Chains A and B, each alone.
Chain A
Amino acid sequence: MSTAVGRSKMADVELRAIAKRYGAVQAVADLDLRVEPGQFVSLLGPSGCGKTTTLRIIAGLVRPDAGQVIIGGRVMNDVPVHHRGLGLVAQNYALFPHMTVMENVTFGLRMRNAAPADIARRAGEALEMVRLTGLQDRYPRQLSGGQQQRVALARCLLVEPAVLLLDEPLGALDKKLREAMQVELKSLQRQVGITAIFVTHDQEEALTLSDRIAVMHQGRIQQVGAPHDIYERPRTRFVAEFIGVCNFLEGEVVGRQPGAVMIRTDGGALVAVGADAHGAPAEGVKVVVAVRPEKLVVGAPGTSHSPALPARVEAVVYVGTAVHYHLRAATGERLIAYRQNDAAAPVALAPGAEVVVSWPATAARLLPDVSG
């Protein structure tokens, strides 16, 4: 990158045993996280999971009770927020309403007492990069949501931050605009090559944008991994439930075969789950079988291979690109199955229809039986 705004420092971020308590609430507990230089990492979780507190600790806006914040190899705990050299795009962008676009964008450089000629040149380049040339004298309220986001990004990138911190910047936008902004955000981040940490409660947004996702729950990181990893191989029930939709069958290990584990569900059905020999739990252990709705195969009785659960269709929801079947297994469990609305799709099943539900053993995941 030859532009001023493109000279990112590409720092890595490391959090070591971070903890923060607010009164009786443990907001963040013993949190470790490594973010490689140039990566886009999302902190994903429901509200109150500690993701925003974690971001604010990295920024220096909140002091952790314990642990270390290391940015670019330097321990930052005692460096005040305005000396950390970071960039923040807050919820609703937090543009200064009493400043023009130009004044907003140059704020950071002015705080650093940069030379006026330097400020003007770099601001011009930054505005060009985010396609805002010609709008420099507008006030934020005179801009569209997309333009506001680009001002916030330009304002951030102009100070060449070591890390870009994004605190649900797209939270206030409607769905269409949000999707457009996601694409724009990601391409700009790639172009600049900056390390980015993104806080969101929107799992789709996290899946779309991130190189890696850290799923948080009750102040702790539940799982860190690439989007497909998090989705296909969730390690806890919480992660499986929070990312996408998932069916859960609670049961007990009753047998082991090469490459698979046999489970007797609490309802009495016998199902197989693909598992390698090392990770497989012993017989008698309580487990949870997790299967994504799109992996379930719903067929007429007698047509399916085992394991197959006899079930009845309770409701059919047509969502355009797919049909969702809400099912009740003969053994009592509730299941949901998605069928892609493709050209080969057979006539949709009606509520009350008797079916059998099956899935490839490798499509199911075995999770420890602990809630949360």
Chain B
Amino acid sequence: MPALLLTPLLVFLLAFFVLPFGVMLYESLYLSLVQNPAGSAMTFANYTKAFGDAFYLRVLLQTVALGVAVTALALVLGYPVAYFLARTRSRRRHVLLFLVISPLVVSIVIRSYGWMVLLGRAGTVNTLLQALGLVERPLPLMYNWFGVVVALTHVLLPFMILTLASVIEGIPESLEDTAAVLGAGWWSRFRHVILPLSMEGVGAGVTLVFMLTIGSFVSILLLGGSDTLVLPLLIYQQITLLNNNFAAALGMLLLVLSVVLLYAQARIFRVRGAA
């Protein structure tokens, strides 16, 4: 009975994943005591509030925009590294591999502190730029979107690189060799052979990084500013305001966003001609 082996995990997921989501869905459909001390009947008020209010709508759009920005940056920066990692025969490959996953071995607080040291008004980057005479006054590199995007790209890049590398490794090198002999330069080989055949990896990496970005909290809290409000921070705010039910509705939005993307991934990122 191999199915029996799944039971512990299924019980775990049921208790700590499905059940809480059920509770969250239930709560999102009622008003909190803060909103309505008399208690309320079932309502979509929390959802209409999230979509009806320009402020909340902006937070929602900012969340998606941040996800798109970090994902795009991770893809562009990560693809060449993933390709190199997948193809190199160097004995120092494991060193590169360690460097790639190094952001993950540092605690999030330490890592964010590191970025603060680098990006602050009197930080390393600004000091350097001023010393070189490239800028007169310190650039605002932190407590804004720039700092958030840099920090998130840094920590999520390993997910993109490792996902892409494993897929690229599965593309036979003979396809590239054949394409080259047939007259394809490096850009054509990438454009017509490697990229289309690695679309599944691109899809998986994009989905992973996007979902992790729109759900990230601490990096944004530490490196963001007053205007870098995204859904997870808004949810936290609402909970501290004892508005759990609205927070639950926002949580459901976050979940729906991820599920939609997961579904789209399977549709969009497909390799032609695959079985």
Q: Which residues of A contact B (CB under 8 A)?
A: 56, 59-61, 80-88, 90-92, 94, 96-100, 107-108, 111-112, 139-141, 155-156, 159, 165, 167
The 7 A-B residue pairs whose C-beta atoms are closest, nearest first, are A139-B273, A108-B182, A111-B183, A88-B181, A94-B174, A90-B174, A98-B272
Known interface pairs A82-B183, A111-B182. Does A88 touch B193 (Cβ–Cβ under 8 Å)? no
- Chain A min CB distance to B275 (Å): 6
Dominant SS among interface residues on chain B: helix
Are B177 and A94 within 8 A (Cβ)?
Answer: yes
Cα-based distance from A60 to B185 in the complex (angstroms): 12
Residue of B nearest to A107 (CB): B182
Are B180 and A81 within 8 A (Cβ)?
Answer: yes
Contacts of B272 in A (CB 8 A): 98-99, 139
Known interface pairs A92-B174, A111-B188. Does A100 touch B181 (Cβ–Cβ under 8 Å)? no
Contacts of A112 in B (CB 8 A): 183
Cα-based distance from A88 to B178 in the complex (angstroms): 6
- Mask, B252-275, CB within 8 Å of A = 1, is 000000000000000000011111
Candidates A87, A94, A96, A97; contact of B274 at CB < 8 Å? A97
Most interface-central of B175, B178, B185, B275 (chain A CB within 10 A)? B178
Are A61 and B197 within 8 A (Cβ)?
Answer: no
How many chain B residues sit at the interface, stated as a range, is 20 to 34
Are B174 and A97 within 8 A (Cβ)?
Answer: no
Cα-based distance from A156 to B275 in the complex (angstroms): 25
Are B188 and A87 within 8 A (Cβ)?
Answer: no
* B196 part of interface (Cβ distance < 8 Å): yes
Cα-based distance from A141 to B185 in the complex (angstroms): 26
Known interface pairs A90-B177, A90-B178. Does A100 touch B184 (Cβ–Cβ under 8 Å)? no
* B172 part of interface (Cβ distance < 8 Å): yes
Cα-based distance from A141 to B271 in the complex (angstroms): 13
- Mask, B164-204, CB within 8 Å of A = 1, is 00000000101101111111110010001100110000000
Candidates A92, A139, A159; contact of B182 at CB < 8 Å? A159
Cα-based distance from A89 to B178 in the complex (angstroms): 7
Cα-based distance from A97 to B183 in the complex (angstroms): 18
Candidates B174, B181, B196; contact of A98 at CB < 8 Å? B196
Contacts of A97 in B (CB 8 A): 197, 271, 273-274
Residue of A nearest to B181 (CB): A88
Cα-based distance from A107 to B192 in the complex (angstroms): 9
- Chain A min CB distance to B178 (Å): 4
Candidates A59, A94, A156; contact of B175 at CB < 8 Å? A94
Most interface-central of A59, A85, A97 (chain B CB within 10 A)? A97
Contacts of B185 in A (CB 8 A): 80, 82
Are A61 and B179 within 8 A (Cβ)?
Answer: no
